[in-house]
Amino acid sequence: MSTAPSPARGLRCPACATEYEISLSRSACECGSPLDLVAERRPLPSTFEGRTPGLARYREGIALSAWSLERTYLGAGMTPLVEMGEGVYAKCDFITPTGSFKDRGAAAVTAAALEFGAAEVVVDSSGNAAAALAAHAARAGLRATVVVPEGAPEGKLAQARAYGATIIPARGPRERSTEVAMALSRREGCYYASHIYSPFFLEGTRSWAFEIFEQLGDAPDAAVMPVGNGSLLLGVYAGFVHLLASGLVRSMPRLVAVQSENCAPLAGRPVQLAGHGLYTDGIAISKPARARAIRDAISASGGEVVVVSDTEVRDARNFLASSGLWVEPTAAAAWAALSRVGDRDGRIVVSLGGAGFKRP
């Protein structure tokens, strides 16, 4: 197995332009901002015929070595694209090893931990990211520690425990779990594999765009997805930018970010967030760390933010289940937004990124 050097070359702060070398101990800029990855990327080929599935299939567009991506492979990727009629497609990212799109990012961030010599990964999460990271760390032979806020769904934590992760509760507001995780990550050989702060997580979610290109033969006209911290939307945007630069798609799809009426900071609405337990808890993020980047991506793509109610989400979830697609409420929020999308012309892909068993 080759251990060729990583295409990643460094880190850059989008807020103050400070640059850093990549290291296990560097999780954010001194100014507090999440960091972006500086990497050498090659054009994607016009066909991926003969390549195995997984993130290594798109190695030209993902800034990690193929050997590390292959070592963390559990089956994430090439999820079904189901035509739902009238030019609308459901991207079924709930059909993944741990039941959510977070498997894409977890495979990449765990590969990064391997490349940079970590023995342990730590993350703060209340659900899907915890399960995804724990599973991929187990695959890679790394220890996993998950710091969880008060009120985290026990069903999702049980999944992380099953993969062998150590669960550490953090009392207080949601921000406290991030502080604890960052402190733990300062231990020797430990990497803060955050789905919010690590830019390598976004390397994994780029693969969503690459797969859509393979499945449709071009970019869709719009992509609709739930947005909390924006790890999927930002990866999808970067993926389509790379496809455009490679000359493989005609245009950037409009990115539609879906939020709940109880927590819609991207829409400029007051946040009504009374702790955990919200129906769409997966996108109940009052202050996204990459909010500026999310807004920039939506604007650059000609997209929009759509806000949906719990009633609309419940109706959407029931409809999808009656069609054979059982998803968690946060995933159903994307389907609920379809009737609100400003321009329905052309092909629309809706991300269904979490399985129904996550929130039965």
Closest CA relative to residue 85, chosen from 334, 354, 344: 344
Secondary structure letter of residue 339 according to DSSP: G
List CB contacts of 319: < 8 A, sequence separation 6 or more.
Answer: 335
Provide mean pLDDT across the span 286-296: 96
> Please, which pLDDT band fits residue 30 given cuts at 50, 70 and 90?
very high
pTM of the model: 0.95
Pull the structure tokens for residue 131.
């399960």
In this predicted model, what pLDDT tens digit does every residue of 152-208 receive, in sequence order? Answer: 777 778 999 999 999 999 987 778 899 999 999 999 999 999 999 999 999 999 999
pLDDT confidence of residue 274 = 55
In this predicted model, what pLDDT tens digit does every residue of 31-49 receive, in sequence order? Answer: 999 999 999 999 999 999 9
> Please, which pLDDT band fits residue 278 given cuts at 50, 70 and 90?
confident
Q: List Cα–Cα distances, 298 to 42, 73, 222, in angstroms.
A: 25, 30, 11
pLDDT confidence of residue 360 = 82
Closest CA relative to residue 12, chosen from 3, 25, 21, 4: 21
Spell out the domains of the chain, with CATH numbers in brackets.
Answer: 81-101+199-358 (3.40.50.1100), 103-192 (3.40.50.1100)
Closest CA relative to residue 258, chosen from 162, 337, 205: 337
Torsion of CA 186, 55, 202, 22, to 10 degrees: 40
